[in-house]
Amino acid sequence: MTTDSDELPVQYADIECARERLDDDTVVKRTPIERSSSLDEFVGGEVYLKMEHLQWTGSFKTRGAYNKIRQDVERGVDRFVAASAGNHAQGVALAATKCGADSTIYMPENAPQAKVDATREYGATVELVGRDFQETMAHAKSTVEETDAEFVHAYDDEDIIAGQGTLGIEMYHDNPNVDTVVVPIGGGGLIGGVSTAIKHLSPETRVVGVQATGAETVHKSLDKGMPVTLDEVDTIADGIATGGVSETTLRIIRQNVDDVVTVTDTEIARAILLLLERAKQVVEGAGAASVAAILSDDLDVSGETVMPLLCGGNLDMTGLQTVLVHALTERQQLLRLRVRINDRPGKMEEISGIIADKGANIRDVRHDRSVDDLEIGEAYLVFRVEASGAEHADSIIDAVEAAGYAVEDITKTI
């Protein structure tokens, strides 16, 4: 990391100007921080959650969108176009509506329905185009070329980056003694702004970025000295699944960010569940990535005061269900057990009783008779069982085996 910030396209003064524009708390509010004693114990430090998922629209994106759109409207622009997987869409929609302008948002065909609905409710026209963010982006840009609308990029825009940087000012003033801030990275606009603000106000504070392994591009981009774009991304954290950073954000990351770590979807799911259980906060995958990072072996924050940024909370119920099933399965609190039986009346009742006697709940059970390795008159019973964890799961299996049945734990194979 170098120290000459004068070369960078976004300066702290730009962020201060953005902060003055964001003077309407019906557009952007100051979000709280909360100490998490549970996470303190996990990481061996002091953890302060920056709860930006409680922002209007459920994410930080309104900060940058409003900073750009307000200036453009003052210059006479009255129509805006954006491409987004969801959070940027809502930010642009709200900002444009507040400024009296029209907005059309192009979203991927698989965008979460909750984000689509919310974007429309904030006043935008929504078009679902493209199988992923890159296709959606290409279509949106081609549309702009045929109109007089202004394109609002999710991260490759200096006004957007400066607007996101207002969050960095808040994070510093929330706790000036913070040793490390942890910021999710998609396209780099958020960490670009936050790191610029933090390094100006507290140069000794460590800034760590975090990407999902299925959408990781920063390390490759830094190694090559230019942005690397992925053809496909694969992560539950759709808010940071851009598949690439820009030249502008890469320059800022190179200079202001001390380290970048990656986390798996399993680690992100675990963090979502932990935040739900311990902090009583519903956070989407991108927002939970920062907590996943401090819990991982790749980032040591023991003995430090650390502030993970919960950047978004727009997790729809279908997505939440998927994450919970994955996380509970990984904890061995949700099992699938396949028991081989002689297919006679009473067997299901007998085995169900054994499982119940161990204090476990059976969610459902099915007969499976169409399997090649079964003899005539045999069947499998497949139980989906709720357990309290690995020790309880083992005791259930042991009890069924002790009753003379062959049991397979097929939790991760179905």
Look at phi and psi of residue 39 and say left if phi exceeds 0, alpha if psi is from -120 to 50, else beta: alpha
CATH match for 63-151 among 3.40.50.720, 3.40.50.300, 1.10.600.10, 3.40.50.1100: 3.40.50.1100
CA angle 120–121–124, rounded 5-degree value: 40
The residue extents of the domains of the chain are 5-59+158-327, 63-151, 332-413
How many secondary structure helices (H) and strands (E) does the chain include?
Answer: 15, 14
Is this structure's pTM higher than 0.75?
yes
pLDDT tens sequence for the chain (414 residues) = 444 456 899 999 999 999 999 988 999 999 999 999 999 999 999 999 999 999 999 999 999 999 999 999 999 999 999 998 779 999 999 999 999 999 999 998 988 787 899 999 999 999 999 987 778 888 999 989 888 899 999 999 999 999 999 999 999 999 999 999 999 999 999 999 999 999 999 999 999 999 999 999 999 999 999 999 998 899 999 889 888 999 999 999 999 999 999 999 999 999 999 999 999 999 999 999 999 999 999 999 999 999 999 999 998 888 888 888 888 998 999 999 999 999 999 999 999 999 999 999 999 999 988 787 888 889 999 999 999 999 999 999 999 999 999 999 998 764
Residues 6+ apart with CB under 8 A from 133: 83, 84, 85, 108, 233, 241, 242, 243
| Structure tokens given for 370 | 């169409």
Length, in residues, of the chain: 414
CATH of domain 5-59+158-327: 3.40.50.1100
For domain 332-413, the CATH architecture is 2-Layer Sandwich (3.30)
Asked if domains 5-59+158-327 and 63-151 share a fold, the reply is yes
